[in-house]
Amino acid sequence: MKFAIQSRRDAQSNELMELAKTYLQDFGLTYDEEAPEIVVSIGGDGTLLHAFHRYSHLLDQVAFVGIHTGHLGFYADWKPSELEKLVLSIAKKDFNVVEYPLLEVKVEHHNAESNTYLALNEATIKSPDVTLVMDVELNGNQFERFRGDGLCVSTPSGSTAYNKALGGAIIHPTLAALQITEIASINNRVFRTVGSPLILPAHHHCVLRPVNDQNFNMTVDHLQITQGDVKAIVFNVANERVRFARFRPFPFWERVHESFVANE
């Protein structure tokens, strides 16, 4: 089996990376950064986001697993003290693969080719200088004209991240859906939005159409992209899916409880 390792690059994560690399090679696995079959992320959920985008062109063949060197994450669930146990399980191929849906973001331009991105957590659209004004279409029909700071479109697995901070719903990551959440919308006697997060199933899609000719600040997970000359931004549940290596039960609602409810 071929493997690669993504480190957060702090001292502890780098030390664990070197240990993991040595142990896995001792078991006969091959270190291959170009075409791995399993990627070990050492750091936090942000480190795994970097690993996902690094290998997003290999999603049909690579599985991810995370070791957290900070707080327990939604993607990084192994402790540093469990490194040897994890290495042994990888070497024995003692794991199952679970798949979660992703978000496809297609940016269409007036005078240039479109750009397509995949998000594991979410994509956001904001205006750098003035109020964001976007027509929101659902399945080809005008739904509303949004005015405010921005919009966040998230995956189910990303619903516990920025989406939750915006008041969005927490969605189980096995559900094929996308969620649209407002960022400080303007609602008064003149301008109105629905004012609630919208959850769309996989066979639905959302299109944002700029009302004004302006540049936009867009994020796709941790990536920051400035977009200009935008005709439309199309959001779909992607055909691709992310694959995680599961070596033991990792109940989603228990993670939610530990992260947001349980006392230290």
- Tens digits of residue pLDDT in 165-177: 999 999 999 999 9
Catalytic positions = 45
Please state, rounded to an integer, the average pLDDT across all residues of the chain: 95
Helices 83-91 and 11-26, packing angle to 10 deg: 30
- Going by pLDDT thresholds of 50, 70 and 90, the confidence category of residue 262 is confident
Domains of the chain, with CATH numbers?
2-95+247-260 (3.40.50.10330), 102-240 (2.60.200.30)
List pLDDT tens digits, range 76-119: 989 999 999 999 999 999 999 999 999 999 999 998 899 999 99
> What DSSP character marks residue 198?
E
Neighbouring C-beta atoms of residue 162, cutoff 10 Å: 18
- Which position has the higher pLDDT, 158 or 71? 158
What's the rounded Cα separation, in Å, for the pair 83 and 105? 36
Mean pLDDT of 37-49: 96
Alpha helices, DSSP H, located in the chain: 11-26, 45-54, 83-91, 162-165, 252-260
Task: Find tokens 């959001």 and name the residue.
Answer: 235
